[in-house]
A = this chain, B = another copy of it.
Amino acid sequence: MSHNSFGHLFRVTTWGESHGPALGCVVDGCPPGIRFRLEEIQSYMDKRKPGQSRFVTQRREDDIVKVLSGVMLDEDGETMITTGTPVSMLIENTDQRSKDYGEIARRYRPGHADFAYDAKYGIRDYRGGGRSSARETAARVAAGALARKVLPDVTIRAALTQIGKHKINRDNWDWGQVDNNPFFCPDAAMVPVWEDYLDTIRKAGSSIGAVIEVVAENVPAGLGAPIYGKLDQDIASLLMSINAVKGVEIGEGFASAELSGEENADEMRMGNDGHPLFLSNHAGGVLGGISTGQPIVARFAVKPTSSILTERQSIDADGNNVDVRTKGRHDPCVGIRAAPIGEAMVACALADHFLRDRGQTGRTR
């Protein structure tokens, strides 16, 4: 069952609410002998954590991750080595302002999960969105950091390609730019445009959507599985599990509807290194659910944060019509912080499929 778990051989279970004492994850099935330093995990946490710029929520969380099990310290007293048993990681919540949420305890914020949770469970931790809060994604990033260690040769990077109507110029794509601006933007020319645009949105107490692209390079051919364990299916599933995501694409995605078979076919020639050379990558690195050795390319669309200062019509838990205006500290573009989360989900999907493939075929690739 997968209410709060995903993956099979690299299996991640997350727990915790936005305003409880802590949140965390348990990673079961991690191979033994994987070496990492806590600061490596932490560096990914820091990319996601709030308060990094004026364009994301001002909640202050250090998001310090603790590893509670599944590792031995190496003789240097610093390097952790996985033992093959479950790795439990915990992140304390420190900057909770639960009273910010008192007035929405019984009011359903439009676009939020409030009504749906009440419809399902009849009870809801309304403080900060409870379990539906994007704070849960901190645990994903911790798990993803470990997943990267399972696949040391694979590079997984994400970038924003669109905020509102403002799309990057793909000809300007430079991965080196991504860490030089608060938007994970690969197009330096777009940065000032997004800055101005988001300042306007932020000051208006409004919000806007975004598109994020994740690229995994150096993925060996042969990962994935027909028919319901397709690599692209599992990546799509995990990206879709991120808060506020409404669409997922692999390779050409929706644009493939307009392509002819001739245009879409990724032709091949034999490469000098004994591996096939693909002449294009419309497929996004996956055919028949199995990786081809080309870069895996996935994209996902994030809707605008539902927490806005403008009043919206709604109802409350007692069935009254009410108008709701969401105070609190929110992201004007929640898509920005989704970039490291998208990377984490792709990393977990790849680690899981790497182990699954190794189990079935015995190849280490």
Instruction: Tell me, in angstroms, the Cα distance from A24 to B307 when the chains sit together.
Output: 35
Instruction: Report the minimal beta-carbon distance from A365 to chain B, rounded to whole angstroms.
Output: 9
**Interface membership of A97, Cβ < 8 A:** no
Question: Across the interface, which residues of B come within 8 angstroms of A312, CB to CB?
Answer: 262, 265, 267
Which A234-268 residues sit within 8 Å CB-CB of chain B? 234, 236-238, 240-241, 243, 246-268
Interface string of A162-187 (1 = CB under 8 A from B): 11110000000000000000000000
Question: Across the interface, which residues of B come within 8 angstroms of A248, CB to CB?
Answer: 236, 240, 247-249
Nearest B residue to A243 via CB reads B288
Instruction: Tell me, in angstroms, the Cα distance from A286 to B249 when the chains sit together.
Output: 19
**Interface membership of A310, Cβ < 8 A:** yes
Stretch at the interface among A28-36, A44-52, A56-64, A151-159: A28-36
Contact of A284 among B6, B165, B246 (CB under 8 A): B246
Question: Across the interface, which residues of B come within 8 angstroms of A32, CB to CB?
Answer: 120-123, 360-361
Which A114-146 residues sit within 8 Å CB-CB of chain B? 115-117, 119-125, 130-132, 136
Question: Across the interface, which residues of B come within 8 angstroms of A16, CB to CB?
Answer: 68-69, 86, 88
**Interface membership of A189, Cβ < 8 A:** no
Question: Across the interface, which residues of B come within 8 angstroms of A113, CB to CB?
Answer: 226, 287-290
Instruction: Report the minimal beta-carbon distance from A6 to chain B, rounded to whole angstroms.
Output: 4
Question: Across the interface, which residues of B come within 8 angstroms of A11, CB to CB?
Answer: 1, 3, 5
**Contacting pair B252 A249 (CB below 8 A):** no
A-B pairs with the 7 shortest C-beta distances?
A113-B288, A359-B359, A207-B261, A116-B290, A237-B237, A247-B253, A32-B121
> Can you sample 13 A-B contacts with CB below 8 Å?
A1-B11, A1-B29, A29-B359, A31-B360, A115-B287, A116-B222, A119-B222, A120-B221, A208-B259, A209-B257, A233-B237, A236-B248, A246-B249
